[in-house]
Amino acid sequence: MGVIEVQAPGLLTTVQDLGREGFGPQGVSPSGAADPVALRVGNRLVGNAEGAAGLEMTLLGGRFVFWDEAVFALTGSDFGATLDGAPISSWGSRQAKPRQTLRAGPTHSGARCYLCVQGGIEVKEFLGSASTHLLSGLGGHEGRALRAGDLLKMGPAKGSFRARRVSGKAWERLAPRKVLRVTPGPQSDWFGESAQKIFYEGTYRVAEESNRMGIRLQGASIPLRAGGEMISEGVTLGAVQVPEGGLPIILFVEQQTTGGYPKIANVISADFHSLGQLRPRDEIRFELVNLTTARGLLVEQDKLLASTDLIVAG
């Protein structure tokens, strides 16, 4: 059993897996990796089951010391990482010797970078998942973001190492998008033609106060058709709700489980990982697709993630 010492946690680093489903009736949202594609690929690179727990770093990475030999991979955005000072590239597996220091800096691309280790990060599971739920202080490592001095346990490693990386073609196909594809939301008919035009033709900017609960957008305000009275109802990841004031909020991994604002659209599942790479001030647009297209894209993405072409030697 190996140990990783957190020397500097970075801006916001948490333990995440693919989340906990099934606890909506208790008001518990799934949480989980903001970019699940990056986590899944990272796990495959080190030979884990794709849902093993890893570390999610946000905007600015941390400094970690491997006390023991480890096999690891960085995926997601490029945080300019080094191992004992030597630059290392993302999206490939590496081996660390005991006492080597992994350092990740400020992002060079999107919002999040993942550190996956062979054997996974071991924490006490809460409701069947290792994911940290920050708002309620549950799950992950003591229910909170990592701090300097934290010691994390790695699960048993297989003891085998083969240098592997993601194929260039797969990497391109999995690249996060700034044009988010959406299906109509359950209240899309509450928004008139001019409101729809504003939403689909406008460019929105990700606001600073965005977090794992919701991505707040700035841009043209969307007028609501008068008269409708909204009764709170269940909501899920990717719902684009329009509160009073007309600036949309995309519900994110640590979302509330019910909400009382009308939803104009819903980001498609195949683009969820793109949400996880949005940084404050990024500019995004929305593109309407139908359910058949949405499902087709999800099937295609899942096939790619499960395929043997995803990962190559090297």
Partner 1 sequence: MDTAADESTRFQFAGDQSLLVYFGHQITLEANEKVRRLLRLLELEPVAGVRNLHPAYCSLLIKFDALRMEHDELKAILRRYLKRLDEVKLPEPRRVEIPVCYGSEFGPDLAEVSKLHGMTEKQTIELHASVEYLVYFLGFVPGFAYLGDLPKDLVTPRLASPRKRVPAGSVGVAGNQTGVYPFATPGGWRLLGRTPVKMFRAENDGLSLLSIGDRVRLTPISRERFAALEKTWA
Which residue ranges make up the site for partner 1 (CB under 8 A)? 21-28, 30, 126-127, 133, 135-138, 143, 183, 185-186, 231-236, 238-239, 256-259, 263, 266-269, 291, 294-295, 298-299, 302
DSSP alpha helices (H): ranges in the chain?
Answer: 36-46, 168-173, 193-201, 272-275, 291-306
Pick 41 or 157: Cβ nearer partner 1: 41
Largest CA distance in the chain: 65
Cα 122 to Cα 13, 39, 116, 150: the distances in Å are 15, 15, 12, 13
Q: Least CB distance from residue 295 to partner 1, whole Å?
A: 6
Pick 89 or 232: Cβ nearer partner 1: 232
Total number of residues shown for the chain:
314
Pick 138 or 310: Cβ nearer partner 1: 138
Rg (CA), the chain: 20
Say how many Å lie between the first and final Cα of the chain, rounded: 27
Q: Least CB distance from residue 165 to partner 1, whole Å?
A: 26
Q: Least CB distance from residue 218 to partner 1, whole Å?
A: 18
- H/E segment holding residue 266: strand 263-267
Pick 159 or 229: Cβ nearer partner 1: 229
Interior/surface letters 34-56, b for 16+ CB within 10 angstroms, e for the rest: bbbbbbbbbbbbbbbebbbbbbb
Residue in the structure block whose two tokens are 């799934």: 30
Pick 163 or 179: Cβ nearer partner 1: 179
Pick 103 or 273: Cβ nearer partner 1: 273
* Alpha-carbon span 297 to 59, nearest angstrom: 28
